[in-house]
Structure formats: structure tokens, C-alpha cells
Structure 1
Amino acid sequence: MTRPRAEAVALASRHVGRPHPARHLGEACRTALDDAYCVGLTLAADAALAQRASLCAAGPLAAQGETLQINLGEGPCVQALNQGSPVLADDLADPRTIRQWPVYAQQAQAHHIRAAFALPVLSGPAPAQQAGLVLTLYRDRPGPLSAAELHTAQLHADAAELLLLSAPVPAEDDLADAWLLPVEAVVHQATGVISYRHALTTGQALALLRAYAHSTDTDLTSLAHAIVHENLHLPDPPETDS
């Protein structure tokens, strides 16, 4: 980010050095939006969210909205990272949105999420595997963001970027422990366990974890916890012709 706005600098300065700065920033964003929105903040090393840290989930919709995206590997946050620009889904019941994210749109609505707006905020020249930061707003009713709301959200997103840039840069394998310890850290641990047990790449291990969670209708984090802490073994993936 170049030439950060004075407003973002001032906002970030209020949270530097505080414990759980992302959580405080997410709550501040939610308050600034008059609690009409729930706020999630995601740090990810790739668009598929194979390495992902949920840094905050402020409000009753955010935790489920964030969890759905890592469980399913689709949704506005994933797309925003992939295309490097905002994704503003003002009605998850819209047929075009359902075609784009068929599973996410359906399950998000089942959890009373009717609109989601993802703003990727870390950009510019960076080394390979540069992390991307996305602020996502969740709302229980359809409708577009106003210009004032978009300005407020972008301001907090810019402040989040400044906070991240002021933190020590993690190594690629340490993303799950960067900045703040995410609730999904156990997912990364389980992916490593599966990769070792089944001789898979981390991407293949995550795909196996997601597939098993989906087939058994199990929350991804709960399944990962059972693998890491209860020695649960997944069945071997089916062999494919080379």
C-alpha cells in the first residue's frame, strides 16, 4: 500500500500494541457501521485459502461466514483474493450469485447471511506466497453498500493493512501463527498430519480434509481437532490412474 490515508494511519495507531488488534479493529468497524454489519478479517497465502488465518469475526454472522469459506473453499473472500479486487455480493439469493458459489450461497443463506462484501487490502509488489488480507462484511438483509459504508469499511481495511505491515513478517509455514493465533490453526495442523500420513501435498491433504468433512456433514474445525488431538485417521484417498 502506498501513501496511506491520514485517517487510516490515525485509526491504526489506536490499536498498535494492543492485544488482539484485529479483533478490536473489527469491532470498531462494526460500531462505525452502526452494527448493521458483521465483520470478518482474513489473512491468506493463496486464493484457495489453503493457508488461511481468520484474524477476527465480529458479530453473530461473521464466525459462520468465515468458517463456511474455509470449509467450502468458495465465496466472496476466495474470489476477492483470486481477482485482486472487491467482491460486492448484495444478494446471495440472486441466481447469478448462486451460479457463482452454489454451495456457499445456499449455506450462507441457511445461516441468515443475505449479503457479503469482500475487500482485499494487501497488494503491490511482493515475494512469492505473499499473504493477502481481506475484510469481509456480512449482513442479514440484501441490498448494496452505500458510498459512505464502503468508505468506512475501506478505511478500516487500510488500517488493518497498516497493523499487519507493522507486525513481524512470518515465514510461509508460520502463517497460521502470524499476527494473531486464529481459531482455525488446528486446520493447518491437521493438514500437515494428513500430508504426512498419506504422503500427499498440503493442497491434496486439505482437499481430502474438506471432502471428508463434506461427506460426513462435519464442521471442518471439529474434524481437524479430532485428527490432531484424538488421533482420528481418515481413509486413504482413492487411487487415480497416472
Structure 2
Amino acid sequence: MTGLSRVDLAQVLGDLAVEMQDQTDAESTLHSIVDGAIAIVPGAQWAGISLIEGRRVKARVPSDPLVVELDELQSSLDEGPCVSALREHRTVHIEDMALESRWPRFSKTAAARGIGSLLSFQLFVHSENLGALNLYGSQPGVFDEESLFVGELLAQHASVALIGAAAESQFRDALSSRDAIGQAKGLLMHRENLTDVEAFALMVQTSQRSNIKLVELARWLIDQHAARLNRA
């Protein structure tokens, strides 16, 4: 998609932002980001999101197996444009992969695999590094100023959506943990004739002595109770 007016671009990005916010989990959000990037960034033929796990670069929701191959190559070399975008907090633009000299081992292999150009945008909110959005073109010079402008806007929307998805996931996990602990506490109160405070104290002490997280202990108590009911 090329030649969008600023009004049209704002509408497209707005629609994409709504779509990303409608996703129920981080993986679905990532898929929307990648699909949207290919659809609206001029010159983008392939796309993916890179995350750093330890010293490795891991590809998420790649649009093509080639994207996975390129991330794995950067992991093995411990260098490349996506690694720089992630570690150095900046946008990387390779206009002609065959002439790229900053990462010669990576660029030589990428050019041989049919990659002509690249854009890599860091995904971040404040100081939190979320990953990198990587866009690939099959020919040199396909990414212009409009590509950079649209890609940076999309990366900003994507960063906010990812933070939102992570926060919602954490909230759901916390809510689930709270419910499990409350249910287990109620079981102990009934079974051991304990007060609310006594039941919770017993769970905390057992958790500490057995080196088991409180929520895991709670779920174990619930599972044991369900098993006894099934045997009855």
C-alpha cells in the first residue's frame, strides 16, 4: 500500500490499533502487528518480530520461514541489524543488503537468500525494551521516507498494544491466583475448622517450608479436594 495521504494513514493506523487492542493475548497481538506491517508499510514483503532471550534472538510470528532463518543467523553470529535495533535502541535501515558493510557475515547470507533491503524498528515504551519489528524487501531501495514514517508510527502503536496485552495477561494471572488462594483457604477453613486468618497462615507456612509458591500450593489443594470428591 503506497501513496497514502496523512488522513488515510491516520485512519488505517487507527483501525489497526483497534484491531490490536481487540486481541485477547500477546500472540494474537503480534500477529496483527506483522500482518499490518506488510499491508501498510511501502516495500515490505516479509515481516516478523524479534525478541532477545539471553544471548539468542528468537523469531515470533514470522510471515515466512525465511524470517526465522535470518533471526537464527543473527543468533549464531551474535550480530546483525535486528540485534542492533534491540540492544542499541534505534531504527536500522539497510538500503542495499549486497552493499551493507556493518554486518558483513549477516548481509552476505541475507543477500544470497533474496533479501534486498531491511528496516528494523525497536519496540519499546519508556525504558522497557519489548523487541524489534523487522521488515524485509526483495529488492534494494524499496524502503523510502514514507516507509520509515509509517513503520515508526506502527512500531509505536505496536509497543503500546504489547504493553496492554502484557498488562492484561498479568492481571488475568493475578486474578486467577487470587481466586485459587481464596478457594483453597476456604477448603482449609471447612476441613480443619480454622478461621480465615489461621487458614491463610497455614498455607503461607506450608509454602515456605516446602519451597512451593503459594498459588501452586493452593491449586494443589484444590486438585486434591476434587480428586477426593471424584473417588467418593
1:60 offset after TM fit, Å?
6.0
Alignment of 1:1-242 (within 5 A): 10-16=15-21, 17-18=23-24, 20-33=28-41, 36-44=44-52, 50-59=55-64, 61-94=66-99, 97-98=100-101, 100-125=102-127, 130-143=128-141, 145-168=143-166
After TM superposition, give the deviation of residue 66 of structure 1 in Å.
2.5
* Residue type at the aligned position of 1:164: L
Normalised to the residue count of structure 2, the TM-score between the two structures is: 0.57
Shift of 1:139: 1.2
The number of aligned residues is 157
Q: CA contact under 8 A between 1:87 and 1:118: conserved in structure 2? A: yes
In structure 1, how many angstroms separate the alpha carbons of the residues matched to 2:51 and 2:78?
14
| CA distance in structure 2 between the partners assigned to 1:37 and 1:159 by the alignment | 20
1:134-165, Cα deviation, whole Å (9 max, x unpaired): 11111111115222222222222122211210
The answer to whether the Cα contact below 8 Å between 1:61 and 1:139 also exists between their aligned partners in 2 is no
Rounded Cα–Cα distance in structure 1 between residues aligned with 2:132 and 2:17: 16
Q: 1:59 to 1:52 in 2, by over 3 A?
A: closer
CA offsets, 1:68-105, max 9 Å, x none?
222322111111223221111111221xx23x212101
Whole-Å separation in 1 of the counterparts to 2:94 and 2:17: 27
In structure 2, distance between residues paired with 1:105 and 1:35: 18
Aligned equivalents of 2:46, 2:121: Cα separation in 1:
14
SS across alignment from 1:107? helix
Distance 1:34 1:84, change over 3 A: closer
**Is the CA contact (8 Å cut-off) linking 1:121 and 1:158 kept in structure 2?**
yes
Q: Which has the higher helix share?
A: 2
Structure ID, larger Rg: 2
Structure having greater relative contact order (Cα 8 Å, sep ≥ 6): 1
SS of residue in 2 equivalent to 1:93:
helix
Q: Percent identity, aligned pairs only?
A: 23
The CA distance in 2 between the partners of 1:60 and 1:115, in whole Å, is 17
Kindly state the Cα deviation for residue 108 of structure 1 after the two structures are TM-superposed: 0.8
| CA distance in structure 2 between the aligned counterparts of 1:102 and 1:33, rounded to whole angstroms | 26
